[in-house]
Chains A and B, each alone.
Chain A
């Protein structure tokens, strides 16, 4: 019954209604605002898509690495079997390259030809001989990377239809490369070197291993410092601290520390850890300490939120049966708050993993060709490695930089996924 009255009421209004220019203007203002909102969201999301898309597309060539397979003859006497490391493998390799291209004889042409093959070839050969000294005096296959220009040629990054002056490969080099393809010597397996090699000046040999190990050590330090200290600070502030000037100061402090620019932490690390305490430059331990100072506020804030979410009844019950306040917190409140704390910690560590600026200032952008043995050795970290590669002029580094970014984003996605899973799985609503 009421339905009919309201409907008839509406109909009445509509019957009265005269199309009013002002009203339609007001409505179109409403539609405009809505359209602005949609446009803003589309802009933001399309930027996200462009970012991820272009980086993925640029990274694609780095998925494979162009390799060449040569028969190499290691003559008796060229390498001393008792000291196989000492042989001049570069010359042996050059000889076998020349055997494929007997017509190349001028020094200039030979140099051009060498440029097609990676400098890493001699080490691949050496490692093979060192592993198995019985190879000396025999002919066997060695597979090693083509140099950057060969790699780019294979992946079609270099347009061979351009006039020779506009591309970095000469016609002769293209001819040699085509001959290698005809002979079936070229292959393009998955680029494991990208992950398991250390850094190098040559894009085809450069990999992330040193950076991964460095980042791992730094995050390890960061976790072992900021996790216990952060929880302790949060527990004190939330559960024990009296309300006074000092605790107010600490509170304001922590909130502000969370918003201090990261580069300022780098200046702190440089002045205090490197210059005052004389810690080693470029070492993951210093990086980890600086990152832990940055992560501390995040963990403290997350822990306090998690502690606040535990209802007071839990505390009262524990105190009621005679527990001390420390026991109450240690045995009941903290375990119940743990999922929230872990979530906050993982998110904090993920931020620390992507942080670059403070690591630059403490020298973690050094050029280091081996993974660090310990956290006191110089090393790079994943984001600083990206920075180094992004600054390198060789074309091959562009795709490797993008690939390294994909690796970094992969780690971040995993860490955040774990954090979200933990929040969903263990969070309790009281």
Chain B
């Protein structure tokens, strides 16, 4: 029986519990005495007591089952297979056992593996049977227990409200759990990385070439994990992006708020926001399809040497993506400046440009700065555009026509198609991820604080 069917059965049981509880309460009501809660709440109570624990059990079971069974199988393997085997080899052995159990046998596997496969399918069967039995048992037990609690004075509504309230709390704690999960997974893997590569070498080293030799006797670089060129590439591309996005976004916001009439604004503003809704992969393709060849041809016609994955192309396209970001934040900030400030400036004889430059922009500055910081954090964390349009080799250069690489590009290239978790190469991706997370988090917190404080000023 699959988990889906099981959950459907639990749902049906809960529904039956609801009807049972309600019918019972209805019968009490017939006696004409005053009840604490309406019959429907008696029904809800039984349904929750029946469905909720069973549902949670299924979820926990599904999450744990494969890990537990794997551990049992590994523990039972004869020592000549498991001795001195690394985690990566172990997972290969496990997947071989699983494919034998699924009936895909290649060559002549070890007898121990065949036995393990047999045990594996037996355990699978036992586990899914046990899940069905225990789930149904818990559901029915919950239903019977809840039913026995029902009585004339039973405070069903309060109990149901209490249970629902706990559910709501659990759901909002999930948001914290996500952050916690992010931090834990990044920190744990990064620790494993930093135990092989010193933190100092990672943060301040000047060479980045994460290729580690595959075989011990192979002639290859030992792998250098100095991330400065990668950080520089990220900052460089983000700076190019801001160089495009900041003036464009700011000037268009100024025009839309202070100069244009309502009709133009109502057309242009949604059009600009379309730019924000386009998935970044589309920008990435646009960069390699149109922008990069254009820049290359233009540069070549001027006699310049342009790399096909120049930082200018990636940064420029990223800048286009960020225009609506800047413009909508600047728009909000400028619109929020009270009309009295404008009127005051005009009354003193200032032109519109002077009012904007000397009154509105200083007043709106915190909001604009907050938006810019958020945009910078976006640019640093942006992945697909740079994965497609920026380079793979880490070079320390200030020439926008050369290719540079970024943190996100390196994370993707280090992790794509590689599931082994014990090589410094994959772990390095988590080290980079940690740096990325911390820097964007810092930017976000500062930006949100700035924006919040600014809002309070005029509200």
Q: Chain A residues in contact with chain B, CB under 8 A?
A: 26-27, 29-30, 32-34, 36-41, 43-45, 47-48, 50-51, 54-55, 58, 228-230, 232-233, 235-237, 240-241, 249-250, 252-257, 259-265, 267-268, 270-272, 274-278, 281, 293, 296-297, 300, 324-327, 350, 353-357, 360-361, 363, 365, 383, 386-387, 390, 398, 401-402, 405, 408-409, 412, 416
The segment from B27-35, B170-178, B203-211 found at the interface with A is B170-178
B119 at the interface (CB under 8 A from A): no
- Pick the contact of A44: B173, B275, B282, B384 (CB < 8 A): B275
User: CB-nearest residue of chain B relative to A26?
Assistant: B351
Most buried by B among A32, A268, A296: A268
Closest CB in chain A relative to B197 CB, distance in Å: 18
B154 at the interface (CB under 8 A from A): no
- Residues of B near A48 (CB, < 8 A) are 271, 274-275
User: CB-nearest residue of chain A relative to B247?
Assistant: A40
Q: Indicate if the CB atoms of A281 and B419 lie closer than 8 Å.
A: yes
Bound: A61/B449 CA distance, A: 50
- Pick the contact of A263: B160, B268, B286, B433 (CB < 8 A): B433
Q: Indicate if the CB atoms of A34 and B255 lie closer than 8 Å.
A: yes
7 A–B pairs (Cβ distance < 8 Å), ordered by A: A34-B259, A36-B255, A44-B248, A44-B320, A255-B444, A260-B182, A324-B157
The segment from B75-83, B138-146, B410-418 found at the interface with A is B410-418
Bound: A27/B408 CA distance, A: 47
B179 at the interface (CB under 8 A from A): yes
Closest CB in chain B relative to A136 CB, distance in Å: 32
User: CB-nearest residue of chain A relative to B430?
Assistant: A267
Bound: A230/B173 CA distance, A: 11
Q: Indicate if the CB atoms of A268 and B181 lie closer than 8 Å.
A: yes
B185 at the interface (CB under 8 A from A): yes
B window 425-447: CB within 8 A of A: 429-430, 433, 436-437, 440-441, 444-445
Q: Indicate if the CB atoms of A277 and B281 lie closer than 8 Å.
A: no
Q: Chain B residues in contact with chain A, CB under 8 A?
A: 63, 66-67, 70, 157-158, 160-161, 164-165, 167-169, 171-176, 178-179, 181-182, 185-186, 188-189, 247-252, 254-256, 259-260, 268, 271-272, 274-275, 277-286, 288-290, 320, 323-324, 327, 351-354, 356-357, 374, 377-378, 380-384, 387-388, 408, 411-412, 415-417, 419, 421, 429-430, 433, 436-437, 440-441, 444-445, 448
- Pick the contact of B433: A33, A257, A264, A324 (CB < 8 A): A264
- Pick the contact of B181: A33, A256, A272, A363 (CB < 8 A): A272
Q: Indicate if the CB atoms of B381 and A263 lie closer than 8 Å.
A: yes
- Residues of B near A228 (CB, < 8 A) are 171
User: CB-nearest residue of chain B relative to A350?
Assistant: B277
Given known A233-B168, A260-B440, A324-B157, contact A39–B380 (CB-CB < 8 A) = no
Q: Indicate if the CB atoms of B433 and A249 lie closer than 8 Å.
A: no
Closest CB in chain A relative to B166 CB, distance in Å: 10
Q: Indicate if the CB atoms of B351 and A29 lie closer than 8 Å.
A: yes
- Residues of B near A37 (CB, < 8 A) are 251-252, 254-256, 259-260
Q: Indicate if the CB atoms of B281 and A383 lie closer than 8 Å.
A: yes
Most buried by B among A34, A259, A277, A401: A259
- Residues of A near B67 (CB, < 8 A) are 276-278
